[in-house]
Chains A and B, each alone.
Chain A
């Protein structure tokens, strides 16, 4: 089955700096890569996603890049703010009638943004 590795496990930055979180996946059949933000005790919330037919997607301060050949994708947050502090999870999903919502998650990155 699919395996997703996420690094780093913790990331500490100063407000205004950029933060980058990287994930690798094992199954070349995966074609959908979402990123979720989870605040303490709260639900995971989708912040951005990318499909395998594009290499980069941006939404304001957040961007995701995908390298299908190397099987890795990254989350980039620019101009970080204290409210960006949370646990971030990457995930991967394979195309297939019964696989669409079956996400394989990375282990998570605890991001702390210091004022």
Chain B
């Protein structure tokens, strides 16, 4: 079992560019979560998705950020027109169905640097 796979591991963008981060959940997991970790801080919930559905996006900034989890392929977190404050580690986590859905397995993270 390859675990939760995230790519790219490191991404450098200039202000105004777009960043796309991808996440493939663990085999058998149908729930995906994105968290953001600013330097020397804890993780902050961003969004919770199931296949083709956004279940909870209460932690997503209102502008420039979007997420999807299509029927086929990985979940994608998209940040448009990046700014320096978007520099952070973005972690994806996955879990099984509702029973035991609390138990999250995290990916290795994608570290975004905005120049």
Residues of B within 8 A of A103 (CB): 35, 43, 45, 102, 104
Among candidates B31, B101, B103, B108, residue contacting A42 with C-beta atoms closer than 8 Å? B108
Q: By the criterion CB–CB under 8 Å, are B98 and A105 in contact?
A: no
Q: By the criterion CB–CB under 8 Å, are B42 and A100 in contact?
A: no
Q: What residue of chain A has the Cβ atom nearest to residue B56's Cβ? A: A98
Q: By the criterion CB–CB under 8 Å, are A101 and B106 in contact?
A: no
Q: Complex: how many Å from CA A86 to CA B40?
A: 12
Residues of A within 8 A of B41 (CB): 107-108
Among candidates B44, B98, B102, B107, residue contacting A32 with C-beta atoms closer than 8 Å? B102
B91 at interface, CB cutoff 8 A: yes
Q: What residue of chain A has the Cβ atom nearest to residue B101's Cβ? A: A100
Residues of A within 8 A of B102 (CB): 32, 34, 49, 93, 100-101, 103
Looking at chain A's contact residues, the main secondary structure is loop
Q: How many residues of A contact B (CB 8 A)?
A: 24
Q: Complex: how many Å from CA A105 to CA B93?
A: 14
B95 at interface, CB cutoff 8 A: yes
Q: By the criterion CB–CB under 8 Å, are A97 and B44 in contact?
A: no
- In the complex, which of the residues A45, A89, A103 has the most CB atoms of chain B within 10 Å of its own CB atom? A103
Residues of B within 8 A of A106 (CB): 42
A44 at interface, CB cutoff 8 A: yes
Task: Give A58-115 interface residues, CB cut-off 8 Å to B.
Answer: 89, 93, 97-108
Q: By the criterion CB–CB under 8 Å, are B56 and A102 in contact?
A: yes
14 chain-A/chain-B pairs, Cβ below 8 angstroms: A34-B103, A43-B91, A43-B106, A45-B106, A46-B103, A46-B104, A89-B42, A98-B55, A100-B102, A101-B48, A103-B45, A104-B45, A105-B43, A108-B40
6 smallest beta-carbon distances between A and B, as pairs: A100-B101, A105-B42, A32-B102, A43-B106, A105-B43, A43-B108
